[in-house]
Amino acid sequence: MTIYTATRRFLPMVVACVCLAAPALDLNDLLNPDAAVLKKPVADAKQAEVKPVEVKPVEVKPVEVKPVEVKPVEVKPSPAAVSDDAAAAAAAERKLAEERSRLERERAELEARLKAAEDARAAAAKAKADEAARVEAVTKKARGDLAEAEAATKKIRGDLAEAQATTKKIRGDLAEAEAERKSLEKERAELEARLKAAEEARAAAEKKAAEAEAARKKSEAEIGDVAKKALAERQAREQAEAARRVAEQRAESERRAAEKAVAEKAAAEKRINYLMNPDPDERADKPRIPAAPKPGENSASAQKQVQKPVHKPGEKPAAAKPGEKGGAGKPSAAAVKKPLTGREAVITAERTDYDRKEGVILFDRNVHVDDEQYQMHADRLFVFLDGTNDLKRLVAIGHVAITNEEKTAYCARATYSKETGKIVMYSGNGIQSKLSEGGKKGSTVIGERITFWVNTEQVEVDNPVISMPGGAFKGGDAKDLLQGGGKSKDGKSKGGRK
Amino acid sequence: MLRLRKAFAQCVAHLDSPAENVVFPLETLPDGTVKSRLMARRAQMFMDSGLIWGEGIRVEQYGKDGKVDSFLEAENCVVDRKTKTGWVDGDAVMTYGKSTVKGRGVHFSVDREFIKIFSKSEIRTAGLKIDPAKTFDVEGRK
> Rounded distance, CA A473 to CA A481, Å?
8
Work out the percent of chain B whose per-residue pLDDT is above 90: 27
* CA A99 to chain CA mean position, Å: 125
CB atoms A354 and B126 under 8 Å: no
pLDDT digits (tens, 9 = 90+) for A208-252: 999 999 999 998 999 999 999 999 999 999 999 999 999 999 999
Within 8 A by CB and 6+ apart from B125, the residues are: A344, A345, A347, B98, B99, B100, B137, B138, B139, B140
Q: Which residues of B touch A (CB under 8 A)?
A: 98-101, 103, 112-133, 135-139
DSSP A305: H
How far is Cα B103 from Cα B87, in angstroms, rounded to an integer? 12
- The shortest CB-CB distance from B112 to any of A352, A357, A361 is to A357
Q: DSSP assignment, residue A450?
A: E
Nearest residue of chain A to residue B112 (CA atoms):
A357
In sequence order, the 6+-apart residues with CB closer than 8 A to the CB of A59 are: none
Residues A248 and A256: beta-carbon distance below 8 Å: no
**Cα dist from A144 to A137, A150, A283, B54, whole Å:** 10, 10, 152, 95
Tell me the C-alpha distance between A254 and A241, whole Å.
20
Q: In chain A, which residues have their Cβ closer than 8 Å to the Cβ of B126?
A: 342-345
Q: How confident is the model at residue A324 (pLDDT cuts 50, 70, 90)?
A: very low
Catalogue all structural domains in chain B, each as residue range(s) with its CATH number: 2-124 (2.60.450)
According to the model, what pLDDT value does residue A287 have? 38
Residues A92-110, mean pLDDT to the nearest whole number: 94
Residue A457 to residue A480: CA distance in whole angstroms: 13
Q: What is the pLDDT of residue A429?
A: 85
* CB spacing of A350 vs B113 below 8 angstroms: no
CA-CA distance, A491 to A320, in Å (whole number)?
Answer: 35
pTM comes to: 0.42
CA-based nearest distance A343→chain B, Å: 7
CB nearest to A350's CB, from B112, B119, B138: B119
Amino acid at B81: R
* Closest by Cβ to A342, choosing from B119, B126, B137: B126
Task: Report the percent of chain A where pLDDT is more than 90.
Answer: 37
CB–CB of A371 and B136 under 8 A? no
pLDDT band at A6 (very low <50, low <70, confident <90, very high): low
Mean pLDDT across A315-327: 37
Three-state DSSP state, A59: coil
Which residues of chain A lie closer than 8 angstroms to B98, CB-CB? 344
pLDDT at A79: 67
Q: Which residues of B touch A416 (CB under 8 A)?
A: 130
- Put simply, the answer to whether A348 touches B98 (Cβ < 8 Å) is no
The span from the CA of A338 to the CA of A344, in Å, is 16
Task: Pick the closest to residue A444 from A326, A312, A269, A280 (CA basis).
Answer: A326
User: What is the per-residue pLDDT for A56?
Assistant: 62
The beta-carbon neighbor of B113 closest among A357, A391, A418 is A357
Q: What is the pLDDT of residue A313?
A: 37
Query: B108 to chain A, minimum CA–CA distance in Å?
Result: 9
| Residue range A88-108: mean pLDDT, rounded | 94
For residue A352, the SS3 value is strand
> Using a CB-CB distance cutoff of 8 angstroms, which residues of chain A are in contact with residue B132?
418-419, 421, 454-455
String of b and e for A420-434 (b: at least 16 CB within 10 Å)? ebbbbbbbeeebbbb
Q: How many CB atoms lie within 10 A of CB A34?
A: 17
Q: Best mutation site among B85, B117, B121 for testing chain A: the one with the most A CBs within 10 Å? A: B121
> Over 60: is that where the pLDDT of A361 sits?
yes
Topology of domain A280-480 in CATH is lipopolysaccharide transport protein A fold (2.60.450)
C-alpha distances (whole Å) from A251 to each of A238, A245, A248 are: 20, 10, 5
Q: Write down the pLDDT at residue B36.
A: 86
Buried/exposed A140-171: b ≥16 CB within 10 Å, e otherwise = eebeeeeeeeeeeeeeeeeeeeeeeeeeeeee
Do residue B119 and residue A351 have CB atoms under 8 angstroms apart?
A: yes
Whether residue A414 contacts residue A399, with contact meaning beta carbons closer than 8 Å, is answered with: no
Tell me, what's the pLDDT at A323?
37
CA dihedral sign of residues A481, A482, A484, A488:
negative
Asked whether A392 and A386 are in contact (CB, 8 A), the reply is: yes
Greater pLDDT, A452 or A397:
A397
Angle of the A2-21 helix axis to the A79-276 helix axis, nearest 10 = 130
Return d(Cα A47, Cα A123) in angstroms, integer: 23
- The string of pLDDT tens digits covering residues A103-146 is 999 999 999 999 999 999 999 999 999 999 999 999 999 999 99
What letter represents residue A460's amino acid? E
Taking CB atoms and an 8 Å limit, are A389 and B128 in contact across chains?
Answer: no
Contacts of A195 by beta carbon, 8 Å cutoff, 6+ apart = none
pLDDT band at A31 (very low <50, low <70, confident <90, very high): low
Contact state of A389 with B115 under an 8 Å Cβ cutoff: no
Residues of A in contact with B125 (CB under 8 A): 344-345, 347
DSSP code of residue A421: T
Tens of pLDDT, residue by residue over A484-498, are 444 444 433 344 333
Instruction: Pick left, alpha or beta for residue A430 (phi over 0 → left; psi -120 to 50 → alpha; otherwise beta).
Output: left
Closest Cα in chain A, distance from residue B128 (Å) = 6
Q: Is the ipTM of this complex over 0.90?
A: no
Is A361 exposed, middle or buried, given 0-12, 13-18 or 19+ CB atoms closer than 10 A?
buried
Contact B119 A355 (CB under 8 A): no
CA distance A308 to A298: 15
Find chain B residues with C-beta within 8 A of A356's C-beta.
113-115
Q: What is the DSSP letter of A333?
A: T
* Chain B residues whose beta carbon lies within 8 Å of the beta carbon of residue A418: 132, 136
More confident residue, A4 or A224: A224
Cβ atoms A445, A484 nearer than 8 A: no
**Residue A310 DSSP one-character state:** -
Please spell the DSSP secondary structure of B25-84, one letter per residue: EEEE-TTS-EEEEEEEEEEEEETTTTEEEEEEEEEEEE-TTSSEEEEEEEEEEEEETTTT
Residues whose CB is less than 8 angstroms from the CB of residue A67 and which lie 6 or more positions away in sequence, other chains included:
none
> Which among A352, A419, A454 has the least Cβ separation from residue B131?
A454
Q: Residue A65: pLDDT band by 50, 70, 90 thresholds? A: low
Contact in structure between B140 and B97 (CB atoms under 8 Å): yes
Q: What percentage of residues in chain A have a pLDDT greater than 70?
A: 63
Contacts of A352 in chain B (CB under 8 A): 101, 103, 115-117, 121, 123
Residue from A26, A21, A72, A67 nearest A50 by CA: A26
Which three-class secondary structure state does DSSP give residue A243? helix
Per-residue pLDDT band at B134 (split at 50, 70, 90): very low
Instruction: Tell me which H or E stretch contains A135.
Output: helix A79-276
- What kind and span of H or E run contains A226? helix A79-276
Minimum distance, in Å, between the CA of residue B21 and any CA atom of chain A = 30
| pLDDT recorded at residue A64 | 64
Give the whole-angstrom CA distance, residue A401 versus residue A403: 7
- Residue A156's nearest CA partner among A164, B124, A345, A219 is A164
Nearest CA in chain A to B126: A344
What SS3 class is residue A189? Answer: helix
> Which among A371, A323, A417, A401 is positioned nearest to B129, based on CA atoms?
A371
DSSP state letter for B132:
T
